[in-house]
Amino acid sequence: MAKNVFYAQSGGVTAVINASACGLIEAARANKQFGKVYAGKNGILGALKEELIDTSKESKSAISGLRYTPSGAFGSCRYKLQSPAQNQAEYQRLIDVFKAHKIGYFFYNGGGDSQDTANKVSQFSQAVNYPITCIGVPKTVDNDLPLTDCCPGFGSVAKYVAVSTREAGLDVASMSESSTKVFVLEVMGRHAGWIAAAAGLAKDEKNDPPHLILFPEVAFDKKKFLAKVAATVKRVGFCVIVASEGAQYADGSFVADAGLKDAFGHTQLGGVAPMLVDMIKTTHGYKCHWAVADYLQRAARHIASATDVEQAYAMGKAALELAAAGKNAVMPTIVRAKTKTYRWSVGEAPLAKVANVEKKLPRGYITADGYGITNKGRQYLAPLIVGEDYPPYKNGLPQYVKLKNILVEKKLTRFRL
Amino acid sequence: MAKNVFYAQSGGVTAVINASACGLIEAARANKQFGKVYAGKNGILGALKEELIDTSKESKSAISGLRYTPSGAFGSCRYKLQSPAQNQAEYQRLIDVFKAHKIGYFFYNGGGDSQDTANKVSQFSQAVNYPITCIGVPKTVDNDLPLTDCCPGFGSVAKYVAVSTREAGLDVASMSESSTKVFVLEVMGRHAGWIAAAAGLAKDEKNDPPHLILFPEVAFDKKKFLAKVAATVKRVGFCVIVASEGAQYADGSFVADAGLKDAFGHTQLGGVAPMLVDMIKTTHGYKCHWAVADYLQRAARHIASATDVEQAYAMGKAALELAAAGKNAVMPTIVRAKTKTYRWSVGEAPLAKVANVEKKLPRGYITADGYGITNKGRQYLAPLIVGEDYPPYKNGLPQYVKLKNILVEKKLTRFRL
């Protein structure tokens, strides 16, 4: 009898992670080699707690609606399994739950940590003689997975940031004569500047926004930065800055951690944007505005990149196909063709090589002065935001699907996490 | 010979103020009663400085592209003329410039202050025997103009906020089991909660986000608020809060002004969102995230309301038609029909009655507990966000028009502002 499938979403969600779920579930429904697809309620926690969502209870249209529904439809979690050596009980529990529910396939949709976990589950399951086919499905707005040209989720954040920078830039431009001279947009990226770099796509001509991008990869030099801001205001009339939340000084301390205290002496939540604005106001006296996109950027399915949606769907589908072909401990990847016009195909990479490797923003993508992106960077980023893929609307609002998320009956006793 | 037209954009720009310019210029081009349309470079400052943009130099396609281009294509400004009694020289300067460039019509596209100024220019021009036809064109994301059912610019911010709340809400929902429990989105609205209220449209069912809306109209009660947050997290698993930047305590002090000091003792820029998050973290210990939409919300033409775009265009067109019909010191308005399905038509209001009256968010639109919108509020707001009106895209980015903005040759000496 066909083994069932377990699928889990992991870590920070994206505008298109459900598109991967959609690709995977639709492919599984069409292939008799696979039984039911169970999804972990809140990711891997669902497996540990034996909270398995029976996706077979969802209609065809609900599943196809996942393609245009942002965030994690089954719930995700920030929960990293330790190694089997450190916490064998958790791995054993996974195997117990998989056994109890006749699960033979584990698809883990996440970033580097998740690929590592999937790899370990594969190894452990073989060691205990209940071999599970473990396939990773790449996902992360951070775009930091190796061996894949890009990561599903990134293209849509990139598009959101580029579009928002262009729009806010026009706003500042039209007001700068008598009002706001400086605008700072804070975007995600604690360790890598991929997302901030995408703002550079908004710039067509020299004086277009963004004028300054702050990357975590480039040490923040306050004096140089403030001089650049003043020079830009003088030259262009205004200055638009896009800052990674992870912008940091040469000593590794975050710009956002400025030691702010409230009236009671509590350390105050930072935010790199208000910190930069404070510096600029204090030094130059310009009227400033700032925005922090936070979750809006990674949830913004309404402005998702069609390329990203297509790739996310393809990764889900390809993951299932890899399993069907008897592969194990691999992850489908996006392979960029060496053609002049952008083309991509699906490849694969062993989980062992994906796990625990962080792909950094190449220095060659950042301009020599450290405040912009090079043509090389632009060539890499530009195709990833191409195409619009609008969700359906009703009464002016996107009609994202809500699943029933019916749990499978439990067969085991409670597991203490 | 046909008199020329002067058009100026005023105050904070919107996603659709250029749609009004488009409606006005297209109508003027089609009507031989009007000469050229000159636009003020940076609003009324352009008139005072005799920096007049000759819109006749712009192609038909550039002008029609204004319909989908956000912010102020000719530049706007924050510059309020005093009364003629206080500063007669400025009014005289306007008349001098109008005379020098054969301008017989003044269209002022802005909020309450601008309508007041347009009215005063009309009166002054009559007093000095160079009567100018002065017509207001309504614009403000604040939605606070009287005598019009709504203000162009508001519907698109409202849609942005409702869509973003829905999207970020899904993100928090899917992560809340093991990660972020509270999300705060700060939106515009220093004096009125119209924009925050629009977030309420994202809620279909009782437990949908937003769970709490903070209005400037409702005194902020920290204890009650914190209790509500905890109760929501307990009931729903997470809590999404949308806060007006103008949220304030009973004594009128802003929640955002929490007396934060940096390391040098400088008062730190607030932001109501980080303040609320600090309270919640300190009291309840929940993991929180926050976003500040700032200019992104009012520049977001990519998610503009089609209703808003249509109304903005219609207001520009109607303003010209009012002038053509010999009206003076009036503003076209949006009149909501008393039908079950939303219908609107163009009306008019005398500037004297529009000026200096602020339309408040009715208390009847806010729920009894002060944290949500009533059905009455929903009925008012819902039609304003209906319809999508996407700009054209190229390479994944909206292709907003850039005008040539060629200035008319100056005829007068410099005026000292």
Region B180-199: mean pLDDT is: 96
* Residue A110 exposed, middle or buried by CB count within 10 Å (0-12, 13-18, 19+): buried
- Which letter does DSSP use for residue B33 in this model? T
8-state DSSP, A288: E
Residues 6+ away with beta carbon under 8 Å from A309:
A16, A19, A67, A68, A156, A389
CB A266 within 8 A of CB A321: no
The pLDDT of A21-40, averaged and rounded, is 98
Interface size, chain A vs chain B, as Cβ–Cβ contacts under 8 Å: 247
* Residue of A118, A111, A184, A99 lying closest to A154 (CA atoms): A111
What is the rounded CA–CA span in Å between residue B143 and residue B153? 8
What is the model's pLDDT at position A269? 47
Give how far Cα B61 sits from Cα of B64, B313, B401, B403, Å: 5, 15, 9, 10
Q: What distance, in Å, lies between the first and last C-alpha atoms of chain B?
A: 32
Token pair belonging to A98: 């998989």
Q: Which fold has domain A3-139+304-356+389-398?
A: Rossmann fold (3.40.50)
* Residue B144 pLDDT class (50, 70, 90 cuts): very high
d(CA A198, CA A192): 12
How many CB atoms are closer than 10 A to CB B378? 16
pLDDT of residue A1: 83
- Which of A159, A183, A277 has its CB closest to that of B269? A277
Q: Which of A15-24, A62-71, B252-261, B377-386 has the lowest mean pLDDT?
A: B252-261
3-class SS of residue A231? helix
Q: What is the pLDDT of residues A40-91, one digit of tens each?
A: 999 999 999 999 999 999 999 999 999 999 999 999 999 989 999 999 999 9
Q: B256 burial class (0-12, 13-18, 19+ CB within 10 angstroms)?
A: buried
Q: A32 to chain B nearest CA, in Å?
A: 30
Measure Cα distances from B329 to A340, B69, B105, B315 in Å: 59, 28, 11, 15
d(CA A407, CA A46): 10
The CATH architecture one would assign to domain B3-140+303-357+390-398 is: 3-Layer(aba) Sandwich (3.40)
CA-CA distance, A202 to A225, in Å (whole number)? 21
pLDDT digits (tens, 9 = 90+) for A171-191: 999 999 999 999 999 999 988
Give the least confident one: A206-220, A248-262, A355-369, B68-82. Answer: A248-262
Can you give the pLDDT at residue A270?
Answer: 62
Q: Which residues of A touch B81 (CB under 8 A)?
A: none
Q: Which residues of B63-72 are buried (b: 16+ CB within 10 A; e: fewer)?
A: bebbbbbbbb
Question: Does the pLDDT value for residue B261 go beyond 60?
Answer: no
Of B195, B202, B113, whose CA–CA distance to B154 is shortest? B195
Q: Do domains B3-140+303-357+390-398 and B154-299 have the same CATH topology?
A: yes
Contacts of A321 by beta carbon, 8 Å cutoff, 6+ apart: A27
Q: Do B174 and A268 touch (CB under 8 A)?
A: no
Does the pLDDT of residue A341 top 70, yes or no?
Answer: yes
A111 to chain B, closest Cα gap in Å? 15
Query: By C-alpha distance, which of A332, A327, A318 is closest to A31?
Result: A318
Radius of gyration in angstroms for the set of CA atoms belonging to chain B, rounded to a whole number? 23
Nearest CA in chain A to B300: A167
What ipTM describes this predicted complex?
0.97
Residue B392's pLDDT is what?
Answer: 98
Provide the pLDDT confidence category of residue B1 given band limits of 50, 70 and 90.
confident
> Closest approach of chain A CAs to the CA of B87, in angstroms?
19
Helices (H), B176-219: 194-199
What is d(CA B151, CA A37) in angstroms, rounded to the nearest whole number? 50
Write down the pLDDT at residue B139: 97
Q: Which among B293, B303, B307 is the nearest to A302, CB-wise?
A: B303
Q: Which of these, B203, B170, B215, lies nearest to B369 by C-alpha position?
A: B215
Q: Which of A255-259, A394-398, B36-40, B92-96 has the lowest mean pLDDT?
A: A255-259
What is the rounded CA–CA span in Å between residue B76 and residue A238?
A: 14
Tokens 């020079």 identify what position?
A: A231
Say whether A71 and B202 touch across the interface (CB within 8 A): no
- List of chain B residues whose C-beta atoms are within 8 Å of the C-beta of residue A268: 260, 268, 274, 278
Residue B265 carries which side chain, given as an amino acid letter?
G
- The pLDDT value recorded for residue A35 is 98
Can you point out the beta strands (E) in B56-196?
A: 103-110, 133-138, 182-187
Provide DSSP, B395-409.
Answer: TTEE-------PBPP
For B140, how many CA atoms within 13 A lie in the half-sphere containing its CB?
A: 27
pTM for the predicted model, two decimal places? 0.97
The total of other beta-carbon atoms located within 10 Å of residue B282's CB is: 12
Contact indicator for B146, B354 with CB cutoff of 8 Å: yes
CA atoms within 13 A on the CB side of A163: 35
> Alpha-carbon distance A356 to A137, whole Å?
15
SS3 B393: strand
| Dihedral over alpha carbons A297, A300, A303, A304 (to 10 degrees) | 90
Pick the closest to residue B44 from B86, B73, B77 (CA basis). B77
Say how far apart CA A8 and CA A40 lie, in whole Å: 5
pLDDT surpasses 90 at A267: no
Q: Look at A174 and B9 and tell me if their CB atoms are within 8 Å.
A: yes
Residue type at B405 in one-letter notation: N
**Using CB atoms, which residue from A183, A271, A300 is nearest to B167?**
A300
The β-bridge partners of A183 are A240, A289
What pLDDT is attached to residue A179?
92
The DSSP code sequence of B256-301 is T----B-TTSPBPP--HHHHHHHHHHHHH---EEEEE-THHHHH-G
Residue A187 contacts residue A245 (beta carbons within 8 Å): yes
Min Cα distance A324 → chain B (Å) is 29
Choose, out of A174, A385, A394, the residue to mutate when testing the contact with B (most B CBs < 10 Å): A174
Strand partners, A394: A397
Domain ranges of chain B: 3-140+303-357+390-398, 154-299
Question: What does the block give as tokens for B273?
Answer: 């969102």
pLDDT exceeds 70 at position A266: no
CB-CB under 8 Å, A398 with B386: no
Average pLDDT over residues B138-157: 97
Q: Which residues of A touch B294 (CB under 8 A)?
A: 168, 183, 289-291
Q: How far apart are CA B73 and CA B67, in angstroms?
A: 11
- The pLDDT, as a whole number, for residue B269 is 47
B142 is catalytic: yes
Q: Which residues of B314-346 are buried (b: 16+ CB within 10 A; e: fewer)?
A: bbbbbbbbbbeeebbbbbbbbbbeeeeeeebeb
Q: What is B154-299's CATH number?
A: 3.40.50.460
Lowest mean pLDDT among A140-154, B246-260, B299-313, B349-363: B246-260
Separation CA A237–CA A241 (nearest Å): 14
**Separation of alpha carbons B180 and A197, rounded Å:** 26
What is d(CA A184, CA A61) in angstroms, rounded to the nearest whole number? 41
Mean pLDDT of A9-27: 97
Give the Cα separation of A305 and A47 in Å (integer).
32
| Residue B57 Cα, gap to closest chain A Cα (Å) | 20
Q: Which of B12, B163, B393 sits opposite A388 (nearest CB)?
A: B393
Mean pLDDT of B123-138: 97
Catalytic residue among A142, A144, A149, A389: A142
Q: What pLDDT is attached to residue B134?
A: 98
DSSP codes of every residue in A263-286: TTSPBPP--HHHHHHHHHHHHH--
pLDDT at B150 over 70: yes
Residue B168 pLDDT greater than 50, yes or no: yes
Q: Which two tokens stand for residue B55?
A: 């819109």
Q: Do B295 and A282 touch (CB under 8 A)?
A: no
Asked if B177's CB is within 8 angstroms of A77's CB, the reply is yes
What's the confidence (pLDDT) of residue A185?
98
Q: Which two tokens stand for residue A346?
A: 């699906």
Measured between alpha carbons, how far is B158 from B187 in angstroms, rounded to an integer? 10
Distances from the Cα of A190 to the Cαs of A110, A145, A158, A253, in angstroms?
Answer: 17, 15, 15, 12
In sequence order, what are the residues at sequence separation of 6 or more whose Cβ sits closer than 8 angstroms to the Cβ of residue B369?
B228
